[in-house]
Amino acid sequence: MNRILASIPAAISLAIPFAAPSRAQVAEVPVANQAGNFTTARVQGNRGYYRNTHWLVVDPSRSLNCRATPNGKVTTLLSSGWIVTAVFPDNKDGDAIVVEEENPWLKVMAIDPSGGKLPACWIRANRRYIAPINSDYIRDRVVKEPQ
């Protein structure tokens, strides 16, 4: 009987697999469709959807039109290299991207490098003009690295 009881811990330790060290999960970013359009600024994560809030202006003309309404009057020009912040509606399931006349538009806020906060405006949600930024990257690089 003592031999049986003595072998139980060894049997249990063999039944429990050892977990190898793993890296923390890194957030995904929205992916453009075949036409290059981003249809949502939300991404499915392991705990539901989360918002992709930061986007990089990559417009090849180096000056992206930002409009008062989707496809409306141009109110601001955003330079390539600027990081803009998506503006989401107050409800938790809302998206910062809307589709108007078959084109997706992203509502954003920008801060002018000369110091002023610009009013919210709409930009085309297409990979020719913008690229999503992984928020984990910003948090790890911008916040933790010395200035």
pLDDT tens column, 110-129: 987 777 788 999 999 999 99
Q: Which has the minimum average pLDDT: 24-38, 69-83, 116-130, 132-146?
A: 132-146
Q: Does residue 12 register a pLDDT over 50?
A: no
- Closest Cα partner for 125 from 94, 81, 95, 89? 95
Query: What beta strand segments (E) does the chain contain?
Result: 42-45, 48-51, 54-57, 63-67, 74-79, 83-86, 97-100, 103-109, 121-124, 130-132
Cβ neighbours of residue 126 under 8 Å, at least 6 residues apart?
A: 32, 35, 36, 37, 38, 103, 104
Q: pLDDT tens for residues 60-97?
A: 999 999 999 999 999 999 999 999 999 999 998 899 99
- Pairwise CA distance, residues 147 & 132, whole Å: 24
